[in-house]
Amino acid sequence: MITKPGPYLRQHAHNPVDWYPWGEAALERAAAREQANSSQRGLFGVPLCHVMERESFENEAIARLMNEQFVNIKVDREERPDVDHVYMNAVQMLTGRGGGR
């Protein structure tokens, strides 16, 4: 499902989770299915992103649940700094802190 050229999105293209790149098509799919979206932001070189892939996104049982319950959206923070900025602001407003690069 992922067709964007960035290394972060390509890294997750083989996961059993049905990932969609951030964009109107993914949001329209979620609306049409009347499902929430599960958005995950990351960068190719961040170790925690690799850990999450190994421990969660490559797990068949977890992937099955994610695919049944959500439209799963990946956001490459380098390709979409505008989207990342919105998420970071929301996290900082809600928790008083937030992660960086």
Name which of 79, 60, 81, 69 is nearest 9 in CA terms.
79
Q: What is the pTM of this model?
A: 0.77
Exposed, middle or buried, 31 (CB in 10 Å: 0-12/13-18/19+)? exposed
Torsion of CA 43, 48, 54, 59, to 10 degrees: -90
Tens of pLDDT along the chain (101 residues) come to 545 457 888 888 888 999 888 889 888 998 998 888 887 777 676 777 778 888 999 999 999 999 999 999 888 888 888 988 998 888 889 888 876 54
DSSP letter, residue 75: E
